[in-house]
Amino acid sequence: MAGLSISAPVGFALYFLLFCVPTLATSHRRELLSQRPTFYDLYPSFAGKIALEEAVGTDIFNPSSTLPPYNLTSEIPYTATDYSADVAFRLQARSIDERVRQMDLANISISVVSLNSPGIQGIFNTTLAVRNSALVNDQLHATYGAAGNYTSRFRFFCTAALQDPVAAASELDRCVTQLGGVGALVNGYTNIGSIDNVRFLDDPALEPFWAKLVALDVPLYIHPRQPLPSQQVVYSGYNFFAGSPYGFEADTAAQSLRLMASGVFDRHPTLKIILGHMGEGLPFFLDRVDERLRHFRRAEIYPAKLNMRDYWIRNFWITTAGVMDTPVFDLAVHKGGYERVMFSVDYPYTDNVEMGKWFDTLNLPAQVREAVGAGNARALLKI
């Protein structure tokens, strides 16, 4: 009002009452709604996000460890009790209403769910792995697919029993064409018969599986698992590092490099691979890898025809799952292009709202935000 003079203390008090108190009240209210241990509950704003690395459990078997259970194959012994209990609840199908509520709080329109790690890859018995893979895929379809109660809010990645590559290819065909799966997800290497006998992803026996992925034109999401217990000597005394804090990334990066060097992408140039966690460190290391390999006897030691970075640009997509680091995001975009980066959370291990707020506050052009937030995933997964 003209002529009205307000002293500085009074002006500050009015500002606080008009703007700060409602904000604090909203923040407190949303914190009560979230009810997540060790997370900050923040208010996101960018609507319509799609998240791709979102874990679920099953009551068919315990996917959080090998079958039979084996020491050093799960990080649960190292995690805080309240966090573990919270995650265990949110992995269950009966928590789907809460999952959707958390998606709403973070303005996530669609979550693409997949079986928890090590999942099917950790089943020693091949016959049981093939059986459980089909049962889990049926369950994913019934709960999160077209047969579920939230048909517009979820898609799912099919499990694949790579213990039997021919059976895995057949089941992938059924899961995609009949159940509506948008691709496959495997958790690193695959146990075959024992804890020490494993199949890595570059194994020539997997050729039928690669061919089926290409024929169906669907991607494979390579999700991490703990390194082989026999390969955890470097973590001795600090085995908690072998899981999600570091070992996940290192092991998955190594698997990806094996794939690049093996010639799989020369035989299948349209094969599509997704990596989480901002590319599992590869955007940082790939130039160094290629710089060193130029001094090696390449034609004698591995069959790949191109540089590793060439395969990265052509055959790989990455997600932000579990990484809220803006310089790392910038590097990932720089190394592969924003068209190959997709928003993800890693729920329930990472909080939807916390990750959503980080992404929403990135200083991005509208075109990039839309592409990373949803557009790239819609194109790749045909959503």
Q: What is the pLDDT along the chain (383 residues), one digit of tens a residue?
A: 344 344 444 343 433 333 333 333 333 334 444 566 665 444 447 889 999 999 999 999 999 999 999 999 999 999 999 999 999 999 999 999 999 999 999 999 999 999 999 999 999 999 999 999 999 999 999 999 887 789 999 999 999 999 999 999 999 999 999 999 999 999 999 999 999 999 999 999 999 999 999 999 999 999 999 999 999 999 999 999 999 999 999 999 999 999 999 999 999 999 999 999 999 999 999 999 999 999 999 999 999 999 999 999 999 999 999 999 999 999 999 999 999 999 999 999 999 999 999 999 999 999 999 999 999 999 999 99
Q: What is the pLDDT of residue 20?
A: 39
Produce one character per residue of 218-241: b if its CB has 16 or more CB atoms within 10 Å, e if not: bbbbbbbbbbbbebbeebeeebeb
State both tokens at 274: 């997704």
Pairing mode, if any, of strands 108-115 and 49-56? parallel
Question: What distance in Å separates the CA atoms of residue 220 and residue 270, rounded to the nearest whole number?
Answer: 12
Reported for 354-358, long-range contacts at CB under 8 A and 24+ positions apart, including other chains, are 354/39, 354/40, 354/41, 354/42, 354/324, 355/106, 355/320, 355/322, 355/324, 356/42, 356/44, 356/46, 356/49, 356/105, 356/106, 356/107, 356/108, 357/42, 357/43, 357/44, 357/106, 358/324, 358/326
What residues are annotated to the active site?
A: 346
Q: What is the pLDDT of residue 148?
A: 78
Produce one character per residue of 144-173: b if its CB has 16 or more CB atoms within 10 Å, e if not: bbeebebeebbbbbbbbbbbbbebbbbbbe
Nearest to 44 by CA among 363, 348, 360: 360
**Who contacts 305 (Cβ-Cβ below 8 Å, separation ≥6)?**
263, 266
Question: Which of the 8 DSSP states describes residue 124?
Answer: -
Produce one character per residue of 342-372: b if its CB has 16 or more CB atoms within 10 Å, e if not: bbbbbbbbbbbbbbbbbbbebebeeeebebb
Q: What's the one-letter identity of residue 339?
A: E
Q: What is the pLDDT of residue 43?
A: 47
Q: pTM higher than 0.85 for the full model?
A: yes
